[in-house]
Homo-oligomer: A and B are copies of this chain.
Protein backbone atom coordinates (compact mmCIF):
# COMPACT_ATOMS: atom_id res chain seq x y z
CA UNK A 1 0.00 0.00 0.00
CA UNK A 2 1.27 3.43 -0.92
CA UNK A 3 1.67 6.25 1.57
CA UNK A 4 -0.83 9.07 1.58
CA UNK A 5 0.25 12.65 0.91
CA UNK A 6 -1.76 15.81 1.47
CA UNK A 7 -1.09 18.28 -1.35
CA UNK A 8 -2.08 21.94 -1.26
CA UNK A 9 -3.52 22.67 -4.68
CA UNK A 10 -4.53 26.19 -5.65
CA UNK A 11 -5.23 25.16 -9.21
CA UNK A 12 -2.23 27.11 -10.51
CA UNK A 13 0.69 25.91 -12.58
CA UNK A 14 3.01 25.39 -9.64
CA UNK A 15 0.54 23.45 -7.55
CA UNK A 16 -0.34 21.23 -10.52
CA UNK A 17 3.30 20.25 -10.97
CA UNK A 18 3.49 19.75 -7.20
CA UNK A 19 0.54 17.35 -7.39
CA UNK A 20 2.34 15.50 -10.17
CA UNK A 21 5.46 15.22 -8.00
CA UNK A 22 3.49 13.87 -5.05
CA UNK A 23 1.59 11.41 -7.26
CA UNK A 24 4.83 9.66 -8.17
CA UNK A 25 5.26 8.18 -4.72
CA UNK A 26 1.99 8.50 -2.82
CA UNK A 27 -1.76 8.39 -2.98
CA UNK A 28 -3.22 11.88 -3.00
CA UNK A 29 -5.42 13.91 -0.69
CA UNK A 30 -5.92 17.35 -2.26
CA UNK A 31 -6.64 20.51 -0.32
CA UNK A 32 -7.92 23.73 -1.87
CA UNK A 33 -8.36 26.96 0.02
CA UNK A 34 -10.57 29.91 -0.88
CA UNK A 35 -9.54 33.08 0.86
CA UNK A 36 -11.60 35.68 -0.95
CA UNK A 37 -9.11 36.09 -3.78
CA UNK A 38 -10.48 37.69 -6.93
CA UNK A 39 -10.37 34.59 -9.11
CA UNK A 40 -11.67 32.18 -6.48
CA UNK A 41 -14.30 30.46 -8.65
CA UNK A 42 -11.92 29.88 -11.54
CA UNK A 43 -9.22 28.51 -9.27
CA UNK A 44 -11.67 26.10 -7.65
CA UNK A 45 -12.65 24.79 -11.07
CA UNK A 46 -8.99 24.24 -11.92
CA UNK A 47 -8.55 22.39 -8.62
CA UNK A 48 -11.47 20.05 -9.34
CA UNK A 49 -10.26 19.47 -12.91
CA UNK A 50 -6.80 18.53 -11.67
CA UNK A 51 -8.29 16.28 -8.96
CA UNK A 52 -10.43 14.56 -11.63
CA UNK A 53 -7.37 14.08 -13.82
CA UNK A 54 -5.58 12.28 -10.98
CA UNK A 55 -8.77 10.36 -10.03
CA UNK A 56 -8.76 11.61 -6.47
CA UNK A 57 -11.94 10.37 -4.74
CA UNK A 58 -14.34 12.94 -3.27
CA UNK A 59 -13.51 11.93 0.30
CA UNK A 60 -9.92 12.93 -0.33
CA UNK A 61 -10.72 16.40 -1.64
CA UNK A 62 -11.09 19.16 0.92
CA UNK A 63 -12.18 22.69 0.02
CA UNK A 64 -11.76 25.09 2.90
CA UNK A 65 -12.69 28.73 3.21
CA UNK A 66 -10.65 31.39 4.93
CA UNK A 67 -13.16 34.20 4.54
CA UNK A 68 -11.53 36.10 7.36
CA UNK A 69 -8.38 36.64 5.26
CA UNK A 70 -10.39 38.94 3.00
CA UNK A 71 -11.99 40.60 6.02
CA UNK A 72 -8.56 41.12 7.57
CA UNK A 73 -7.45 42.63 4.28
CA UNK A 74 -4.03 44.12 3.70
CA UNK A 75 -3.65 42.65 0.20
CA UNK A 76 -4.55 43.74 -3.31
CA UNK A 77 -5.42 40.10 -4.01
CA UNK A 78 -8.41 40.14 -1.69
CA UNK A 79 -9.30 43.84 -1.60
CA UNK A 80 -11.23 45.05 -4.67
CA UNK A 81 -10.35 48.68 -3.86
CA UNK A 82 -6.64 48.04 -4.33
CA UNK A 83 -4.98 47.57 -7.68
CA UNK A 84 -3.00 44.46 -8.58
CA UNK A 85 0.44 45.39 -9.87
CA UNK A 86 0.80 44.71 -13.56
CA UNK A 87 4.44 45.57 -14.09
CA UNK A 88 7.42 43.28 -14.00
CA UNK A 89 8.09 41.80 -10.59
CA UNK A 90 10.69 43.95 -8.89
CA UNK A 91 12.35 42.14 -5.98
CA UNK A 92 14.08 45.28 -4.88
CA UNK A 93 10.71 46.93 -4.32
CA UNK A 94 10.06 44.69 -1.32
CA UNK A 95 6.90 42.75 -0.54
CA UNK A 96 4.38 43.00 -3.45
CA UNK A 97 0.87 44.36 -2.83
CA UNK A 98 -0.49 40.88 -3.63
CA UNK A 99 1.06 39.48 -0.44
CA UNK A 100 -1.78 38.11 1.73
CA UNK A 101 -0.50 38.45 5.29
CA UNK A 102 0.86 35.09 6.52
CA UNK A 103 -1.40 33.21 4.10
CA UNK A 104 0.76 30.17 3.58
CA UNK A 105 0.79 29.55 7.31
CA UNK A 106 -3.01 29.33 7.33
CA UNK A 107 -2.99 26.92 4.41
CA UNK A 108 -0.27 24.76 5.93
CA UNK A 109 -2.24 24.62 9.20
CA UNK A 110 -5.24 23.14 7.43
CA UNK A 111 -3.00 20.71 5.61
CA UNK A 112 -1.27 19.69 8.83
CA UNK A 113 -4.56 19.11 10.70
CA UNK A 114 -5.94 17.08 7.83
CA UNK A 115 -2.71 15.09 7.44
CA UNK A 116 -2.73 14.33 11.17
CA UNK A 117 -6.29 12.97 11.02
CA UNK A 118 -5.72 11.04 7.77
CA UNK A 119 -2.40 9.66 8.93
CA UNK A 120 -0.67 11.20 5.91
CA UNK A 121 3.06 11.46 6.35
CA UNK A 122 3.75 14.19 3.85
CA UNK A 123 2.38 17.64 3.21
CA UNK A 124 3.26 19.10 -0.19
CA UNK A 125 3.15 22.76 -1.09
CA UNK A 126 4.20 24.12 -4.49
CA UNK A 127 5.78 27.30 -3.18
CA UNK A 128 8.52 28.88 -5.27
CA UNK A 129 11.08 31.03 -3.53
CA UNK A 130 12.63 32.84 -6.47
CA UNK A 131 9.57 33.79 -8.47
CA UNK A 132 7.73 35.03 -5.41
CA UNK A 133 10.67 36.83 -3.93
CA UNK A 134 9.20 39.31 -1.59
CA UNK A 135 6.54 36.96 -0.20
CA UNK A 136 8.05 36.19 3.19
CA UNK A 137 5.93 33.05 3.60
CA UNK A 138 7.40 31.49 0.45
CA UNK A 139 10.96 31.29 1.71
CA UNK A 140 12.75 28.17 2.83
CA UNK A 141 13.40 29.73 6.24
CA UNK A 142 9.67 30.05 6.79
CA UNK A 143 8.99 26.43 5.85
CA UNK A 144 11.79 25.23 8.13
CA UNK A 145 10.29 27.20 11.02
CA UNK A 146 6.79 25.96 10.24
CA UNK A 147 8.01 22.36 10.16
CA UNK A 148 9.21 22.84 13.71
CA UNK A 149 5.80 24.24 14.73
CA UNK A 150 4.11 21.18 13.22
CA UNK A 151 6.50 18.85 15.02
CA UNK A 152 5.85 20.54 18.35
CA UNK A 153 2.14 21.22 17.94
CA UNK A 154 0.81 17.81 16.86
CA UNK A 155 0.55 14.46 18.65
CA UNK A 156 3.86 12.92 19.69
CA UNK A 157 3.29 9.98 17.32
CA UNK A 158 2.42 12.23 14.36
CA UNK A 159 5.13 12.57 11.73
CA UNK A 160 4.36 15.01 8.97
CA UNK A 161 7.09 16.19 6.64
CA UNK A 162 6.54 19.38 4.70
CA UNK A 163 7.70 18.94 1.08
CA UNK A 164 8.47 21.89 -1.16
CA UNK A 165 9.72 20.22 -4.36
CA UNK A 166 9.53 23.41 -6.45
CA UNK A 167 11.03 25.80 -3.93
CA UNK A 168 14.29 26.38 -5.78
CA UNK A 169 13.08 25.96 -9.36
CA UNK A 170 12.35 28.82 -11.71
CA UNK A 171 9.19 28.95 -13.81
CA UNK A 172 10.85 27.48 -16.89
CA UNK A 173 12.14 24.52 -14.89
CA UNK A 174 8.67 24.03 -13.43
CA UNK A 175 7.12 23.96 -16.90
CA UNK A 176 9.70 21.39 -18.04
CA UNK A 177 9.21 19.31 -14.92
CA UNK A 178 5.45 19.39 -15.43
CA UNK A 179 5.78 18.21 -18.99
CA UNK A 180 8.17 15.43 -17.97
CA UNK A 181 5.71 14.22 -15.35
CA UNK A 182 2.72 14.45 -17.68
CA UNK A 183 1.03 17.06 -15.50
CA UNK A 184 -2.19 18.49 -17.02
CA UNK A 185 -0.94 22.06 -17.36
CA UNK A 186 -3.85 22.87 -19.69
CA UNK A 187 -6.19 22.57 -16.69
CA UNK A 188 -4.41 25.16 -14.54
CA UNK A 189 -5.20 28.79 -13.81
CA UNK A 190 -2.69 31.40 -12.67
CA UNK A 191 -4.13 34.84 -13.52
CA UNK A 192 -4.72 37.07 -10.50
CA UNK A 193 -7.31 39.22 -12.25
CA UNK A 194 -9.48 37.45 -14.87
CA UNK A 195 -11.49 34.22 -14.86
CA UNK A 196 -12.36 33.70 -18.51
CA UNK A 197 -9.21 34.43 -20.45
CA UNK A 198 -6.02 35.14 -18.53
CA UNK A 199 -5.10 38.83 -18.61
CA UNK A 200 -1.48 38.21 -19.58
CA UNK A 201 -0.44 41.37 -17.76
CA UNK A 202 -0.55 40.71 -14.02
CA UNK A 203 2.56 39.59 -12.20
CA UNK A 204 1.39 35.98 -12.12
CA UNK A 205 0.59 35.86 -15.87
CA UNK A 206 3.92 37.46 -16.77
CA UNK A 207 5.91 34.98 -14.71
CA UNK A 208 3.98 32.11 -16.22
CA UNK A 209 4.29 33.26 -19.83
CA UNK A 210 7.99 33.90 -19.45
CA UNK A 211 8.42 30.44 -17.95
CA UNK A 212 6.74 28.77 -20.92
CA UNK A 213 8.73 30.92 -23.34
CA UNK A 214 12.09 30.07 -21.76
CA UNK A 215 11.11 26.40 -21.64
CA UNK A 216 10.41 26.61 -25.38
CA UNK A 217 6.78 25.64 -24.90
CA UNK A 218 3.51 27.36 -25.63
CA UNK A 219 1.10 27.97 -22.80
CA UNK A 220 -2.04 25.89 -23.46
CA UNK A 221 -4.50 28.19 -21.64
CA UNK A 222 -6.41 31.05 -23.37
CA UNK A 223 -5.18 34.64 -23.06
CA UNK A 224 -7.08 37.87 -23.72
**Which A residues form the contact surface with B (CB < 8 A)?**
62, 64-65, 67-69, 71-74, 94-95, 99-106, 109-110, 112-114, 116-117, 136-137, 139, 141-142, 144-146, 148-156
The chain B residue with its CB closest to the CB of A99 is B155
Copies of the protein in its oligomer: 2
A99–B156 CA distance with the chains assembled, in angstroms: 13
Pick 30 A–B contacts, CB within 8 A, sort by A. A62-B72, A65-B65, A69-B113, A72-B113, A72-B114, A101-B116, A101-B117, A101-B154, A101-B155, A102-B112, A102-B116, A102-B150, A102-B154, A103-B113, A105-B105, A105-B109, A109-B109, A136-B153, A136-B154, A136-B155, A137-B153, A139-B152, A141-B152, A142-B152, A145-B149, A145-B151, A146-B149, A148-B148, A148-B149, A149-B149
- Chain A facing B: main interface SS: helix
Asked if B95 and A153 make an inter-chain contact with CB atoms under 8 angstroms apart, the answer reads: no
Q: How far is the CB of A37 from chain B (nearest CB, A)?
A: 14
